[in-house]
Amino acid sequence: MLAPDGHSKSFDERADGYGRGEGAGIVVLKPLSAAQQDGDDIYALVRGTGVNQDGRTSGITVPNPESQEALVRQVCDQAKVIPQQVRYVEAHGTGTAVGDPLECKALGAVLGQDRSPDNACLVGSVKANIGHLEAAAGVASVIKTALCLKHKQIPPVANLENPNPNIPFETLGLRLPRKLEPMPKGEGPAYIGINSFGYGGTNAHAILEESAILPASAASFTITGWP
């Protein structure tokens, strides 16, 4: 499972395992009305979350794209977000030869459908920057996503040389950012998906929304920060 060079090469043709990292992350969750009343610096709104289980697969390192696809659809429905409204997805993206193509297949089946070529869903993974934090990998993705929404920018995929030829990004309606980009334009607020899965077969997905548009009654929780 581990890359010989110690680096996670997410979505790259050199993907050969993940690089281990160490870290911890903390986010502060509040009802939006409370965050507004307290004058907090709001980074993002939490629109929907969900988990499910892979079931039987061919091995502990092999995820089930059908289960991931079902979960992404479920969370979009829960959040009342049309999949084509998701502008970027922070993928699990471990940089493995098996996991990356299967994850992209699941994401493309939901988030990449019915998009024009110039409106593909951007995909990235913070693991290419800091490695796989294992128990803290999910919260690292949440922090990155909140920062993307706050600053309205999408960073490039680190360590990317040549996209994995086993992932048909264009056909799937997905695109890898190769440089720092502004948040893609679209109608209404910006939404970002966060995808994750674990050794035991648990899949997790969340959708965050930029905080600038909605009134206090429109979301359950916010991710807040300090100036």
Return the closest-CA partner of residue 211 out of 35, 17, 28.
35
Assess if residue 20 is contained within a domain: no
pLDDT tens across the length of the chain (227 residues): 899 999 999 999 999 999 999 999 999 999 999 999 999 999 999 999 999 999 888 887 788 999 999 999 999 999 999 999 999 999 999 999 999 999 999 999 999 999 998 999 999 999 999 999 999 999 999 999 999 999 999 999 999 999 999 999 999 999 999 999 999 999 899 999 999 998 889 999 999 999 974 444 555 567 766 54
Assess if residue 190 is contained within a domain: yes
**Owning domain of residue 168:** 42-225
Question: What's the predicted TM-score (pTM) here?
Answer: 0.92
Three-state DSSP class for residue 207 = strand
Per-residue pLDDT, 182: 97
Assess if residue 119 is contained within a domain: yes
Assess if residue 22 is contained within a domain: no
Per-residue pLDDT, 56: 86
Task: Report the domain count for the chain.
Answer: 1
Residue 67's domain is classified under what CATH number? 3.40.47.10
Assess if residue 46 is contained within a domain: yes
Task: Give the integer Cα–Cα distance in Å for 32 and 215.
Answer: 9
Residue with tokens 């996209």: 163
Assess if residue 49 is contained within a domain: yes
Assess if residue 6 is contained within a domain: no
